[in-house]
Structure formats: C-alpha cells, structure tokens
Structure 1
C-alpha cells in the first residue's frame, strides 16, 4: 500500500472519546461511538470548528497496535470551547498519509489490516483518519489515514 510522507503541525481535535482495542470483541465500540456522534448531532455542537471533516483519532496507546488506546471521533478546532466534550492534541511531526476510496467501514478495515502488516517505523503516539464526505455513494468515500512515524 502506497503512502506519502508529510509533516504536520499540531492540531486539536474535540469530540467523543472511549477506551478501545483492536480485538474482535470490541469491534462495536468504535462504531457505536460514531453512531452516537451522528445521532446526537455532536458535530453540529462543536464550537470553533476549522472544518466539518470528521476525524477518527487513535491516541494514548498502551503499547502498540495490539494494546488498548483512546479513540475519539470529532472535528479539528482552533480552540477548545467545548467543556462537555473530550479534547486530544495531535502532535506535530512526521506522518505517513494513506488515501483510500471506498466504504468507511469495510474498505477502511481492509486498509488498516494492510497498514498493520507493513514494516512502518511507527511512533504509536497518535494516528487518525479524516473523512471527506465527498460522495453520496457510501462505497466511494475519500478517507485519509495518517500514521505517526519516527
């Protein structure tokens, strides 16, 4: 799977956060968090949004891809003025940017499985997905996956 090396500045993301891991038993946790995010119109309530692009964020890794982490679904903000929500800062640094076109569940999971098999020099600080919502066809969505690299 091809990716682009990029350098990002620090970003603050605000939204709903849960503790999760990549086990099959917990596969529903992330989906349920996204469901709540949309059902309760949380995206619309986030103050100081830079864009309305959805962000799925993986941070506070216990160890690596096999350990637990914090998952947050939200949006990038200029300043956190949302005390009722969670905030996580994406650190500035080097990232591998993977872009996929497809379904935000099925094709995204396939992409993650490929990424997990790659010999990337990962930092396990903060990885995230950006959902562009650029097509009415759910099977043709653009999603960028950013992996923190050493």
Structure 2
C-alpha cells in the first residue's frame, strides 16, 4: 500500500469519544455508535468554529491495548465545553489515501497498515473524511511516526 511522508502542524479536534481496544468485542459497535451520534444524532451541528467540512476519526491516548476514539471535526478555536477537545500533535505522519465504501475502505486500509513495518509513534493516528459520499468516500489516513 502506497503512502507519503508528510509533516503536519498541530490540529485541534472537537467531538465525542469512547475508550476501546482492538481486542474489545464491542469495538466496532462503540466506534459506529460515535459516528451515528455525530451525524444522524446531530452532534456535528453543535461543533463551533469548524476549520473545514471534513470529519475526523482520531485514535489517541494509547495505553497498552486501550486507546481513545474521537469522532469530530478540526476547529480553529475550541469553544465547546460540552464536548471532548483533543490535540493532534504536529510532526511526521505516513499519509494513506483511499476511496470507496466508507466502512470497507477504512477497514481494508487499517488491515494493510497493521501488516506494514512502520515505525509508529502511537501519539495519534487519524482518518480525515473529505466528503460524505458513503459509497464513494475519499479518506486520508494519517499514522504518526
């Protein structure tokens, strides 16, 4: 799977979060529930000062097998006391670009990424959803190095 190395500035993300692990039998449900709350549930409309129209799926706070998943948006200023505020650290990332069914394309990309010998830093990894076309989504995945 092809990727490019990019240098990113820090980003602030506002959204909703859950803690899970790859071994958690409820992992997919927890993550799916976040996205359901964000879009059909209307949480996305509450996010103030959005930097762009993209949605972000952030994986952070890696502790052993557990990590925090945040579904939200990048903001220019965090002004949502009732939501989770996370910072994506600036630095070097491997950037993967995929297209296709939103769920399948991301799942397949992660399967490939896990097989790769990347020197991951586990500071923060994130998916950036560039459009809302479920069947023909454009998604960038960023893996912290």
Q: For residue 59 of structure 1, what is the aligned residue in structure 2?
A: 60
TM-score by length of 1: 0.92
Q: Deviations over 1:101-137 (max 9, x none)?
A: 0111112101100000000000001000000116x4x
Provide the aligned C-alpha RMSD in A. Answer: 1.1
Structure 2 distance, partners of 1:24, 1:76, is 27
Q: For residue 120 of structure 1, what is the aligned residue in structure 2?
A: 118
User: Unpaired runs of 5+ in structure 1?
Assistant: none
Q: For residue 10 of structure 2, what is the aligned residue in structure 1?
A: 10
Match among 83, 86, 96 for residue 84 of structure 2: 86
Give the CA deviation at 1:96: 0.4
Q: Deviations over 1:22-62 (max 9, x none)?
A: 13612211001111111221111111111121000000001
Q: Deviations over 1:73-108 (max 9, x none)?
A: 000011110000001100010000000001111121
Structure 2 distance, partners of 1:76, 1:109, is 22
SS of the residue corresponding to residue 38 of structure 2 reads helix
Structure holding more strand per residue: 2
The answer (yes or no) to whether the contact 1:43–1:52 under 8 Å persists in 2 is no
Q: Deviation above 4 Å: which 4+ runs of structure 1?
A: none
User: Unpaired runs of 5+ in structure 2?
Assistant: none
Structure 1 distance, partners of 2:22, 2:107, is 11
Q: For residue 109 of structure 2, what is the aligned residue in structure 1?
A: 111
Structure 1 distance, partners of 2:38, 2:45, is 10
SS of the residue corresponding to residue 28 of structure 1 reads helix
Structure 2 distance, partners of 1:20, 1:92, is 24
TM-score by length of 2: 0.95
More displaced, 119-128 or 19-28? 19-28
SS of the residue corresponding to residue 25 of structure 1 reads coil
